[in-house]
Structure 1
Amino acid sequence: MHAQIENDAVYFTTGFKIGEVSQNSAIIWTRLCKSAKPVPVQHVRQDKTFRSPKSFNNNMPVNEMDGAVEGSFGEIKVKLVSENDTIIIDWTYVSALKDYTYKRKVEGLKPNMFYKVKLTGRMGKGQPETTVFGSFNTAPDADDTSPIFFTSSTCQFFWSHDDPERGFKIYDEMKKLKPKFHSQTGDYVYYDKPGPFVKTIEMARHKWHAMNSWPSLKEFYMQTPLYIEKDDHDLLRDDAYPGKKPLGELTFEDGLALWYEQTPIGDKPYRTQRWGKDLQVWFVEVREFRSDNSIEDSKDKTIWGKEQIEWFRNTLESSNATFKVLISPTPIVGPDRPKGKNDNHSNKAFQTEGEWLRAYLAKHNVFVVNGDRHWQYASVDPVSGLREFSQGAVSDFHAGGWSQDNVLPQHKFLRVKGGFLATKVYRESGTPIIQFLHYDVDGNVVHEETFKN
């Protein structure tokens, strides 16, 4: 550590992310770090999810906590290279104000093009330079019938790791599949769970540093474009909504600012992206615009908010994509647990908006991929016929919340284990096909459903 500080080197210990990839642009996000490696994992977790690791002191210095990665002042240079194009973004300083993070939208890219990425960091001119490399593909144009394969996942708590050296097995398994992009549907970190339980902005930022420093995540995201959504635990606390009480010194507004700081996202939390002729994907926001969960249900009680609903209807009804996929941080069909849950569209608390949304989505032949639930399922709404695919938690250790024996009529598939979901869009003898594949944490397909247009 002393040698690293003495030679004024900086590092990309938490890697970098390529966000919001379109036909012509992408957002590059990274953070400069003081040390080449995070603080080693030194505590032992307990045998139940969300328990404090054994002998963990929540008041210990944050820079000594498991997975801690201190930031560093310095500057960053970005270079993107394709077979016929080179784009360079010259040296830009990062500082403590935004946790030494860097976020820049790169424009002028070409559709359906492979780009190599090179990031260089240094303390200043004449100081040692550190480089990292990655790559990605831009989205194809709306008339392109190239096959598309993408992955999605949800709910990852640092202490639910299933590989003590690399973090989470699903990231290495997804990397082998070489998806065009990945959707992380929220609860990327858990502020309101121990190891540490967040009380300050510094501790909240630490959660991101520790998660991003796992090698499996770091390597995956440096070569897989990301569309990220937030849910409650990576914003503030369980079932968060505007006006929810602070978590220690962390307010709802603080959590919102940190999420935009720590992720490769643009100005709008809801957005849609076309990936060729046969696929359009919508990413929605379920925390910033919602009503208080506890108020009585009515036509005005909402999760999405009026502005987002209007945007969604306009973009959906103007789309001519063969297949339309809505990726939601929370369930829309479910079924969800009947007791103690009043936070999503499959719950009674939002029944009015939920019934409208399910009917509307089914009318427009939309498929739903959802996060938040810690078990895998494929379900069909008995009223509207809307289909929903739940990815399950990031590891088997993190899975739970439903009984494997409780198979309901809505369930076409139920598995109370961890894993991820993949969606494949392709053509066979000219016929467009979409396929949803549930994988376990070891990369084995455990369920698949196929639909032809």
Structure 2
Amino acid sequence: MKLNSRRIFFRKAGLGLAAFSLRKVTALTVEENNGNSKDEVFFTTGFKTAEVTPNSAILWTRLCQQAVPNPVKHARLEKVFRHPVDFDETMPVAQMDGAVAGSGGWVRVLLKDKASTLRSGWHKAEASEDFTVKIPFKNLKPATEYQMVWEAKASEKGAVFTQSGTFTTAPDEETERPIQLVTSTCQYFWSHDDAERGFKTYDSMARMNPDFFLQTGDYVYYDKPGPLAKTLEKARHKWHAMDSWPALRDFYQKTPAYLLKDDHDLLDDDSGPTSPAYGNLTFADGLKVWHENVPLADKPYRTFRWGKDLQIWLAEGREFRSPNKSADNPGKTIWGEEQKKWFQETVEASDATFKILFSPTPIVGPDREKKTDNHANDAFRTEGDWLRKYLTAQKNMYVVNGDRHWQYVSVDDETGLMEFGSGPVSDAHVQGWDEGDVRPEHRYLSLIGGFLGVKIMRENGSPIITFTHYNVDGQAVHHEKLVAV
């Protein structure tokens, strides 16, 4: 069935979000005693379980007016990024491909494990927050699977619509157990590689049943057409269109997530606090939209423990940086002094076997010589040298980065620090490096899309960490298996 006719069928049939998916999910239902077909709300842009710890999680969703997103009508150019053909940037956002109108209303969540049920209060979805809702839960049990039941209604006495999902909390720091995580970066709506589902990578990651997912930035691209997000409304639309792809909705239905931001999902290329507005979209607007869509408990840099053998750090690379093109000096920074102090204190307090820093941008590289916005560039050489030396001094510590549009494994020639770049979500998004340009730092280099899997386990009592690059179909293309020292 063609994409457009398929979506028209669902709309006429009156089927909800879950029916639109090709995977088996819990159907959208209405409480019989309150049925009112004119008072509907939908979870069309899905829901996410975020910032999971052994005892807490933040749940996110957005209430929607329409059961399915607008159909994808535009053809694409057959070149990198697959920009849409003849896209009218001036058309109303409500008419754009992938658009999903929001709805006011009320939302709550029930969490069930084998022994108990937790229920949140009702939270209001309001236009000022783009109809998004964040619901924090505390006092959860470590390493426990929870069944989620989302309930939503358009008004306080309206019909109640439900949808279900699952997630499992992190194990406590004394527990030895295998951990499987997946990570990816750089996804542009028009670079999709599955006309029905959106991105093959998400379905490939889902088949691995990972414990959690970490997205390292450039979740959307404000500065690429279809539309160019030069207003707050268009920036919000980019998230709606991305999150309504069935592959993403299904993936987040059972996979906890941690999200980092980078330049393209905040403002435009290489942006920072001193960047001028992108059209009418300011740096502050970009921060607002990001916080609407990404639940955080506190600061944008944070750390999470997953059992005895793993702790992860999520770095913030945009909010505290010096201007990219200012002269390098000891005070020039990407992280800012407060984040650097926090990072050192938390790393040195950790007794986790393996430590992974997730950075939205490279720390080792190599990167292109003309670039000026990351620690692998000469523009931030002083802070980059400090960070590489510090990381190398820690036992069993590695870097996983986003931002680069190719897959690689690099080892810094001065410090020996090892860095893993996941590459972009789709092959259509690959660009910026030549296949034959293999540098001495490279242990692996491939110009493909896909994702990175990281597995922590014990073999005969010895902790092992394995980094595996996968293509978009989920086929392993490179392994690095490392034993703890």
Query: Residue 85 of structure 1: CA displacement?
Result: 2.2
Tell me the secondary structure at the aligned position of residue 385 of structure 1. coil
Distance 2:450 2:213 in 1: 14
Number of the residue aligned with 1:189: 220
State whether structure 2 residue 376 is matched by structure 1 residue 346: yes
State whether structure 2 residue 106 is matched by structure 1 residue 75: yes
Tell me the secondary structure at the aligned position of residue 180 of structure 2. strand
1:104 to 135, 159, 179: 135
Q: Gapped runs of 5+ residues in structure 1?
A: none
Number of the residue aligned with 1:372: 403
Number of the residue aligned with 1:388: 419
Confirm or deny: 8 A CA contact 2:81 2:428 kept in the other structure: no
Query: Residue 131 of structure 1: CA displacement?
Result: 1.2
Distance 1:156 1:241 in 2: 20
State whether structure 2 residue 38 is matched by structure 1 residue 20: no
Deviations, residues 77-132 of structure 1 (Å, cap 9, x unaligned): 20011112211012221111101000121111011111111101111244222211
Distance 1:52 1:398 in 2: 11
Number of the residue aligned with 1:36: 67
State whether structure 2 residue 362 is matched by structure 1 residue 328: no
The aligned runs of 1:17-166 (5 Å cut-off) are: 17-50=48-81, 52-166=83-197
Query: Residue 30 of structure 1: CA displacement?
Result: 0.3
Query: Residue 51 of structure 1: CA displacement?
Result: 6.0
Query: Residue 2 of structure 1: CA displacement?
Result: 10
TM-score normalised by length of structure 2: 0.92
Distance 1:92 1:380 in 2: 48
Confirm or deny: 8 A CA contact 1:38 1:210 kept in the other structure: yes
- The one-letter code matched in structure 2 to 1:183 is L
Query: Residue 168 of structure 1: CA displacement?
Result: 0.3
Tell me the secondary structure at the aligned position of residue 423 of structure 1. strand
State whether structure 2 residue 288 is matched by structure 1 residue 257: yes
Query: Residue 264 of structure 1: CA displacement?
Result: 2.2
Identical amino acids, percent of aligned pairs? 55
Query: Residue 3 of structure 1: CA displacement?
Result: 10
Query: Residue 267 of structure 1: CA displacement?
Result: 2.3
Deviations, residues 347-371 of structure 1 (Å, cap 9, x unaligned): 0000011011001101103100000
State whether structure 2 residue 277 is matched by structure 1 residue 223: no
The RMSD of aligned alpha carbons is 1.3
Number of the residue aligned with 1:248: 279
- The one-letter code matched in structure 2 to 1:243 is T
Deviations, residues 120-146 of structure 1 (Å, cap 9, x unaligned): 111124422221111111111111001
Aligned residues: 452
Change (3 A) 1:447 1:50: closer
Greater shift, 302-311 or 88-97, is seen at: 88-97
Greater shift, 32-41 or 79-88, is seen at: 79-88
Deviations, residues 271-325 of structure 1 (Å, cap 9, x unaligned): 0001000100000100000000010000000000000000000000111110000
Greater shift, 125-134 or 398-407, is seen at: 125-134
Distance 2:257 2:296 in 1: 9
Distance 1:57 1:416 in 2: 32
Confirm or deny: 8 A CA contact 1:51 1:194 kept in the other structure: no
1:175 to 206, 211, 217: 206
4+ residue stretches of structure 1 with deviation over 6 A? 1-6
Tell me the secondary structure at the aligned position of residue 399 of structure 2. strand
